[in-house]
Structure 1
Amino acid sequence: MDSPHPAHGRGLRSFAAAVLALMLLVCAAPGASAVARAEDPTNETDVVDPDTTQSDVDEPAAVEEQVPELVVAPEDPLFEDTGTEYSVSILVRNPSDSPVPAGTLRLEIDQQRTKTLAELGSEDPSARHLLAESELRETKSRDAQTVDFTVRRADMPLTALSEPGVYQLHATFVPEDEPEEPAASRTPDHPATDELISSSTPVVWQGTAGAKVNVSVIVPLVLPSDIDTLPTPDQLKDVVPGLNRLLVTATAQRATLAIDPRIIASIRAYGENAPEEARRFLTRLESSSLQSFLLQFADADPAAQAALGFPKLLEPTSLDFASRLGEFPALDTEEEPSAPETTIPGAEIDADPEQAADADNPASAADGLPDSDVPSDSSSTLPKLRELLSWPKGTATAWPAEGAVDAATLALLRTSGITTVVLDSENVWQEDTPRTTLSDTSALITDAGLGEATRAALTAPTDTEKAAALATAASRLALAAQNNSPGIIIGLDRGATADSENPEQMLEALATLSWVSPSSQTDLPTAPAVLKSAETLEDRRELLRTAAGREDSVDEVGAILVHPEYLTGYQRTRLLELFATRYAAPDTDFASVAADFKKRDTELMRGVEAISTQRTQLVGVSTRVPVQLRNSLPFEALVKVQVVPASAALSVSEPTFSNVSVRADGNERLLVPVRSRVSSGESGLVVTISSADDQVTVFTGTLAISISSVIESIALWTLGVLAALLLSFGIWRSVRRRRHAVSGE
């Protein structure tokens, strides 16, 4: 049937098409100087405050805090007068729940040079020159887009006669419903609108007129955050290529190496079982001419330990839990070389007297090694802790978390024999010096601003943000060169470097700057400075205090292991990693990290336990009841199991099982002979699991049992009756056959 109003329907469709076309024209970004592209939404991270409630979300104030962001970044931090065009990108990110309307995106540049660090980020709209602008389409909620600008040389107000140095690029977004005003009419006292979104990034024009600054970089060789003890051989295969590239780049920059001892210890601990590439890397590292020092094990934070009142720095107690998996050539027992002293922070003090005794007594060190862990003929060749951590070429230096050092930290370091400390520039009152002396401690002072810029470059989720961070770092170095800085030390963020895919690329980018002169930190001058009061975060301190308090409880469970020192060494290594400086920053979710650590502690403290089922059915007078043992520890356990009846309804003929071996993270089943004394009822078996010497009990629990031996009695009576009936039937049939035979005769 035809529609009664066909003309009317066609009119509506035509009108809708016209409206759609008009919307597309409005939202499109005109002009050839700007190209808009969508940003990958997977790069966006939604940050949710765990304390936020639904009522908080509904409040307008909470929504206003999530304002759109702009990031402006030059493709190259250096603009040359000889260039024909300059590429700049602007990232628009909308973290809010509401879309950002379409509008105009402006790109401007200051016409006056920035002369000091204090002037970076300053706002003086009257001194800006408009380079380009573009219409920006709507930015959806939780989305981002990037606009690429190509600025022609003719549109650049700076000339060959302009002062070389730092100038600031500015990005401004004006929603389409806001009045547009010329840039010259906007002043700090009379902005165009309160709704404006703006951002700035410095750029260097024509270099620094020959001025240079000596720059020394501290390059950390550290492990990624997903390695919480020692890396496995497979993990070494993954991380060593990146560490090797970083070492090569650091060598070219005359950098100072800050080495996590876990790297060298793990390669040595696996011996010939370590990956070949890892062993070659260790050889190159040992022969490197660069200055180096060992961080505290797992990059643990000395400032946090001082804040908790520790009398000495934490240190590993044993790494046998890793070296048991290694393969080592037999040592010459007639002449055993002495282990060189290590320079790991705090290693001059033996944390475990038994470990020190074992070092002098090879027999005690090798006592009790099982064949399943280490071959008996090679047990005496396991390297000692000092051999694994030896780094005689390094200096005794500590690198606490940035901005957290106080007098107590320095005192703890001196007690541990450490005479040099790396400090953040915000942690001291100083007169622009890269090196100083605080009491009896030498200090290397890293530039806080450059540290933040390089950290932003290493952690940037997008290319635009990475380019902006590199431009900021380059500009800060240019300002230092033009202001005759005595020298700068850059300390690369340890957590960001470890988790970055190619951190060496950032070092290479800084090395290309003509105003940077790579230097060794020993070539930089010293000047007086005063320590500025600082402290660690209170929440982090308390979580660390609680975690450290659980260490003894975990270590106690080690009594059920074939080698208790495996668990104590493993747990101490985990605890040191929890103290890592990567978790010291205020924006780190350390509460979540500590919660995961506590969860693992709980698993370890279970040790070996009997897995309980809802109820076991006992249908006979006597049987063997299976008892399943579960080992939650990553090492082999040797336990004593005692099983006694919970009531007189049951009896156990073999209540004790000695020297029961339960493999690491595995199960073992015992068959317990049980006899019931009643025909039916409820009872149970009380299972106690303790160390082989019965000194430490790790589990006591009851396995419920339902007794139904009457079923067995009924079954036996039934079988007896059936047998009697069958026998009677056979007799009857035999008698009948005989009678038939007699009657037939």
Structure 2
Amino acid sequence: MTSTRPSRAPRTRRFLAALTATVALAAAVFGAGAAVAADRAGATSPPDEPSISFTAAPADGGVLAAGQPLTVSLSARNSTSLSVATGTVHLSTSARPLATRSDLRAWLEGDGAADRTDVALADTAMPGMAAGGTSVLTATVDGALFAGYAPGVYPLRAAYDSDGGGGIATSVVVIPGDPGTGALGVVVPITAPAIGTGLLDSEELTELTAARGALRVELDAVTGTSAILAVDPAIVAAIRVLGTKAPATATQWLDDLMGLPNPRFALQFADADLATQVAAGLKAPLAPTTLDSYMTASSFPAASSPTPQPSGSPDGSHNSNDSTGGIPTLADLTDVGADPGVVFWPATGTAGAEVVAADATQSTPTSPAITLIDSGALTTDDTPARAQAGDAQLLVYDADASTALGSAASATSSTDRQGALAAASAYAALAVAKAPGAPLLVAVDRSLERTDLRGAVIAAQQLGGRTATGLAQIAATPPVSVGLRAVAGDDSRADALGHLIADETALADFSSILATPEVLTAPERASMLQVLGNAWRLTPDRGASAFADHRAQTKKTLASVSITPSSSITLAATSAPLGFAVRNDLPWPVSLVLIATPGDARLVVQNTTPVEAGPEQTTRAKVPVQARVGSGESTLHLQLRSPTMVAIGDPVSFAVSVRAEWESVGLIVMAAIVGLMLVLGVVRTVTRRRRRALARRSDAAPEADPAEDASAADRSDDATDPVGAPVDRADPSDSERGGDA
């Protein structure tokens, strides 16, 4: 434990204040000059400064081997603006052990009361520090001072004092005893950072599996250990769906993972939050439906592959892909090489009686289910690794020791790391002492930062003086009957999940417009599970934003197909097809049915019109409409539906101006124009024929005297009407013939 003590700077300020008062009094006697001096003296008073922090922790995880000295790491940090001179650290302990977990918690979390450690161990000088500086020291205590101490957990107190301040730090020393005969299991999750999309993409995989990437660090931390791996199947699926296009670092990471002999089990896809699913009322945990939409045939050449091996090979390794070639199945994609059975691991602190009972219902005769929970869920302070609550089978990891291991994995200083490991050793020692023959299970839990994960895993393998083993050995231990606490669910997350499920149902209905609905529904389910991932619990605000962002994206998808609104439409005929724009923003073609309903009896419309809309484009749909009146205003209501009659988008109404009489007027005008053109054509034809006849008669007449020709021309002019049209005149010979008749 780290504590602080206020700096002695206030004493200096009190002295300066007294000095200021004295100078002020002198100013009253000796004049204004002394008053100015007092102001200057007051101005030099230092402001309030932060205190000095101090930590102390024993080496070797706090375990003191017989005949060995005790090494204690001491660290101080001066956050003030003043330098601190050399100080003194007083180390002490007690011959009275911390016998229970409650005693141990109280000591580590308390203020380090001096009366609890009445045995002096050593005094050592702590080097001075400049302003903002640090001081690190290793103190050695003669191990003979612990001679005669029985195996157990003993308090360790370090008191630091200097002229600039000081502090108290508490830790523990473990005198090891008989490790007993029980097994030891260390569970380590292999998970990725929180994301909001269904699978990690190629760029993310490249970053995470590269040297110093989060996934590579996790895998390197467990390599060569006996850790029990809890693997998120979404990670291996993200690599496998890329086929031959997967990044080289990701492929190597997958091969390394599947090649490890470590026992393992699969987490829920995306390490989805089980407690929230139970709180939302789900009867079974959500799971991906298919991942086919993430794969392309070009990434899986149809080449023959070796004969598939069983998931566990003779050397204990696991094959990276059990597919026999071609497009892998969902089981192939998500295979982590898990041992038989189903293990559920809710996030620490979220599982109680309700969650455990729900998980138990997932058992089958061939695939029994067991839930991994922290000991904080039990009604007692016991930590039985193998337990049973009613019909529910349990694996219980020591919550206190696991929390300490998590702190060690994420510690940023060596002293803090050693202190956390000492606490883990102490809790493990108490568990082993209470039940020497019982197994002990711990977990290096999910965390945002893991600066020394490997160090924590290696230390965990030696807790209680035992050697880590597999999950099967612990699961085979006869269970201890336990009671479970009621743990309240997170209502906000449960409500958010309820909204996601409702949105998913709407999206499934919407997807009926697609030839292959899975291209939309499968990524939706995978993305839901990612948003539900336990990694988001580590950053609640960002987790809430992830829920909101996912809902917004779903709503955008549901609005991607719609009728484009437009201005009013004029129907200038008794019947005509009206065109409407159907927008499709999806990258796939869609099949729709356009339902048209007239607002009143003025219009008669075709009720259903099939529409085939291309991807990412606007398609024109034509609806036949007939007007029953010559003129008027009406409304046409349109609604898109899928072939299964699911409403797509919002209904849209169009104002229709009926002007059917315009068609009759237009026909009359057209008829008049056509009639006039016919009359003009007849007149022109008759005129042309007469001119031709006259020309023929002129050509047939004998040659005449020029004077006669001129006279004939004059007569021809006289026979022409004012507008130039020839006029028929009676032939005298005809009159005479008529008269003769």
Q: Give TM class, smaller chain.
A: 0.5 to 0.7
Shift of 1:262: 0.8
Change (3 A) 1:86 1:448: closer
CA distance in 1, matches of 2:431, 2:606: 89
Shift of 1:233: 1.6
Shift of 1:218: 0.9
> Alpha carbon RMSD of aligned pairs, Å?
5.6
Shift of 1:405: 4.2
CA distance in 1, matches of 2:608, 2:473: 74
Change (3 A) 1:672 1:608: closer
CA distance in 1, matches of 2:188, 2:50: 46
Shift of 1:247: 2.1
CA distance in 2, matches of 1:269, 1:244: 19
Q: Deviations over 1:583-618 (max 9, x none)?
A: 678978865554444434433433423566xx7599
Select which of 145, 149, 156 maps to 1:161. Answer: 145
1:264 aligns with 2:253: no
Partner residue in 2 for 1:218: 187
Change (3 A) 1:448 1:223: same
Please say if residues 109 and 170 of structure 1, whose CA atoms lie closer than 8 Å, have aligned partners that are also in contact: yes
CA distance in 1, matches of 2:192, 2:634: 53
| Pairs within 5 Å for 1:278-317 | 278-306=250-278, 310-317=282-289
Change (3 A) 1:450 1:125: same
1:490 aligns with 2:442: yes
Please say if residues 219 and 256 of structure 1, whose CA atoms lie closer than 8 Å, have aligned partners that are also in contact: yes
CA distance in 1, matches of 2:510, 2:469: 48
* Other structure's SS at 2:218 match: helix
Select which of 413, 420, 426 maps to 1:472. Answer: 420
Please say if residues 458 and 503 of structure 1, whose CA atoms lie closer than 8 Å, have aligned partners that are also in contact: yes
Specify the code of the residue in structure 1 equivalent to 2:341: A
CA distance in 2, matches of 1:382, 1:576: 23
1:21 aligns with 2:9: no
| Pairs within 5 Å for 1:77-476 | 86-89=73-76, 110-112=92-94, 114-116=97-99, 117-120=101-104, 121-122=106-107, 123-127=112-116, 148-150=134-136, 153=139, 160-162=144-146, 166-169=154-157, 201-204=170-173, 208=175, 215-241=184-210, 242-306=214-278, 310-324=282-296, 327-330=299-302, 381-391=326-336, 393-401=338-346, 402-403=348-349, 404-406=351-353, 408-415=357-364, 417-428=367-378, 429=380, 432-436=383-387, 443-457=394-408, 463=412, 468=416, 471-476=419-424
Q: Deviations over 1:22-41 (max 9, x none)?
A: 326x8598xxxxxx6xxxxx
| Pairs within 5 Å for 1:684-723 | 688-691=639-642, 693=643, 695-702=645-652
Please say if residues 196 and 531 of structure 2, whose CA atoms lie closer than 8 Å, have aligned partners that are also in contact: no
* Other structure's SS at 1:226 match: coil
Specify the code of the residue in structure 1 equivalent to 2:187: I
Partner residue in 1 for 2:722: none
| Pairs within 5 Å for 1:572-587 | 572-582=525-535
Please say if residues 212 and 516 of structure 1, whose CA atoms lie closer than 8 Å, have aligned partners that are also in contact: yes
CA distance in 2, matches of 1:503, 1:228: 29
Please say if residues 107 and 172 of structure 1, whose CA atoms lie closer than 8 Å, have aligned partners that are also in contact: yes
Change (3 A) 1:173 1:685: farther
Please say if residues 650 and 675 of structure 1, whose CA atoms lie closer than 8 Å, have aligned partners that are also in contact: no
Q: Deviations over 1:162-191 (max 9, x none)?
A: 4686534568999x9xxx9xx9xxxxxxxx
Change (3 A) 1:690 1:490: same
Change (3 A) 1:217 1:682: farther
Select which of 574, 592, 596 maps to 1:640. Answer: 592
Please say if residues 71 and 199 of structure 1, whose CA atoms lie closer than 8 Å, have aligned partners that are also in contact: yes
Partner residue in 2 for 1:658: 611
Please say if residues 557 and 607 of structure 1, whose CA atoms lie closer than 8 Å, have aligned partners that are also in contact: no
* Other structure's SS at 1:231 match: coil
Please say if residues 455 and 493 of structure 1, whose CA atoms lie closer than 8 Å, have aligned partners that are also in contact: yes
Partner residue in 2 for 1:52: none
CA distance in 2, matches of 1:544, 1:273: 34
Shift of 1:553: 1.8
Change (3 A) 1:150 1:695: same
Q: Which runs of 5+ in 2 are unaligned?
A: 1-30, 313-324, 660-741
| Pairs within 5 Å for 1:524-539 | 526=477, 528-538=479-489, 539=491
Specify the code of the residue in structure 2 equivalent to 1:329: P
Partner residue in 2 for 1:519: 468
Q: Deviations over 1:197-236 (max 9, x none)?
A: x9854254xx646876974321111121124421112221
TM-score, normalization: structure 2? Answer: 0.61
TM-score, normalization: structure 1? Answer: 0.60
Shift of 1:573: 1.9
CA distance in 2, matches of 1:526, 1:541: 35
Specify the code of the residue in structure 2 equivalent to 1:235: E
Shift of 1:246: 1.9
Shift of 1:273: 1.6
Select which of 553, 556, 579 maps to 2:509. Answer: 556
* Other structure's SS at 1:253 match: coil
Specify the code of the residue in structure 2 equivalent to 1:111: T
* Other structure's SS at 2:239 match: helix
Shift of 1:449: 0.8
Shift of 1:328: 0.5
Please say if residues 111 and 157 of structure 1, whose CA atoms lie closer than 8 Å, have aligned partners that are also in contact: no
Change (3 A) 1:673 1:518: same
CA distance in 2, matches of 1:642, 1:9: 96
CA distance in 2, matches of 1:647, 1:527: 74
Please say if residues 389 and 483 of structure 2, whose CA atoms lie closer than 8 Å, have aligned partners that are also in contact: no
Q: Deviations over 1:496-515 (max 9, x none)?
A: 1xx43646345367369797
Change (3 A) 1:511 1:476: closer
CA distance in 2, matches of 1:243, 1:439: 38
Please say if residues 218 and 491 of structure 1, whose CA atoms lie closer than 8 Å, have aligned partners that are also in contact: yes
Q: Which runs of 5+ in 1 are unaligned?
A: 1-7, 30-35, 37-69, 94-101, 138-144, 184-197, 343-379, 710-745
* Other structure's SS at 1:262 match: helix
Specify the code of the residue in structure 1 equivalent to 2:459: L
Specify the code of the residue in structure 1 equivalent to 2:207: D
Change (3 A) 1:77 1:15: farther
CA distance in 1, matches of 2:357, 2:377: 14
Shift of 1:254: 0.8
Q: Deviations over 1:616-657 (max 9, x none)?
A: 5999999999947353x6x53424374979889999999967
* Other structure's SS at 1:398 match: strand
Please say if residues 433 and 445 of structure 1, whose CA atoms lie closer than 8 Å, have aligned partners that are also in contact: yes
Change (3 A) 1:660 1:83: same
Change (3 A) 1:341 1:468: closer
CA distance in 2, matches of 1:297, 1:483: 33
Shift of 1:699: 1.4
Change (3 A) 1:588 1:673: closer
Please say if residues 176 and 429 of structure 2, whose CA atoms lie closer than 8 Å, have aligned partners that are also in contact: no
1:599 aligns with 2:586: no
Specify the code of the residue in structure 2 equivalent to 1:267: I
CA distance in 2, matches of 1:325, 1:662: 21
Number of residues of Structure 1 aligned to a counterpart in Structure 2: 566
CA distance in 2, matches of 1:202, 1:682: 87
Shift of 1:437: 5.3
Change (3 A) 1:504 1:393: same
